[in-house]
């Protein structure tokens, strides 16, 4: 049987992808084994040779004639990935999810176009939430700095009625139980 023609990449079983990568595959009976996409044609050809060794192909059907053992071929590349029915089903599922996501984006764009007042309200709401979070973080950082000063023996300039004490308590307290029924852990023993 005559050997197959080498493709435009110069190697058997290697094709150039439109994105510039090199795709490698090998046929085994009715199966097409997808060996992956590689940055160079040389790497893809090495993957082809490793798969050919595993499939028991003669050396004359390989890209590189200087590999004499399966171990040499395996040292060069990772094992091939089979393109199975499960892979096809997973790909189909991902494609469906992508179509649903694209349709969601289209519907949301149409909704934004038809209801600009809702979009403005939503943007205002999230802006207020961001401001509140930043203010809380700022207050906690200030309260923590003041607590460090007090712990070091210094004096603090805010009173016990200040909201920042509550922030210190929240950030340092391990007690997250809100319902205080007066039970003490020592009484239950």
Average pLDDT of adjacent 10-residue blocks, the chain of 189 residues: 58 86 86 83 85 82 78 65 74 90 93 93 94 88 74 63 62 50 44
Helix (H, G, I), strand (E, B) or coil at 169: helix
**Residue at token pair 């906690």:** 140
Predicted structure pTM score: 0.39
Domain residue spans of the chain: 14-82, 85-114, 117-173
Query: How is domain 14-82 classified at the CATH fold level?
Result: GCC-box Binding Domain (3.30.730)
How would you class 181 by CB atoms within 10 Å of its CB: exposed for 0-12, middle for 13-18, buried for 19 or more?
exposed
Do 78 and 54 touch, CB atoms closer than 8 A? no
The one-character DSSP state at 178 is -
- Angle, CA of 41, 42 and 46, to the nearest 5°: 115
């Amino acid at each position: 049987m005559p050997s197959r023609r080498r493709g435009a990449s110069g190697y058997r079983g290697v094709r150039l992808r439109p994105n510039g990568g090199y795709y490698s595959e090998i046929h085994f009976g009715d199966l097409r084994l997808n060996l992956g996409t590689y940055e160079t044609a040389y790497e893809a050809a090495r993957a082809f040779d490793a798969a050919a060794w595993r499939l028991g192909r003669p050396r004359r059907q390989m890209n590189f004639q200087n590999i004499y053992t399966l171990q040499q071929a395996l040292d060069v590349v990772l094992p091939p990935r089979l393109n199975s029915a499960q892979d096809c089903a997973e790909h189909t599922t991902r494609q469906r999810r992508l179509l649903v996501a694209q349709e969601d984006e289209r519907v949301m764009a149409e909704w934004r176009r038809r209801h600009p007042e809702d979009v403005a309200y939503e943007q205002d709401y999230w802006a207020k939430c961001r401001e509140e979070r930043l203010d809380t973080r700022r207050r906690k950082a200030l309260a923590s700095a003041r607590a460090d000063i007090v712990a070091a023996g210094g004096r603090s300039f805010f009173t016990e009625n200040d909201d920042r004490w509550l922030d210190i308590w929240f950030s340092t307290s391990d007690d997250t139980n809100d319902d205080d029924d007066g039970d003490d852990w020592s009484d239950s023993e």
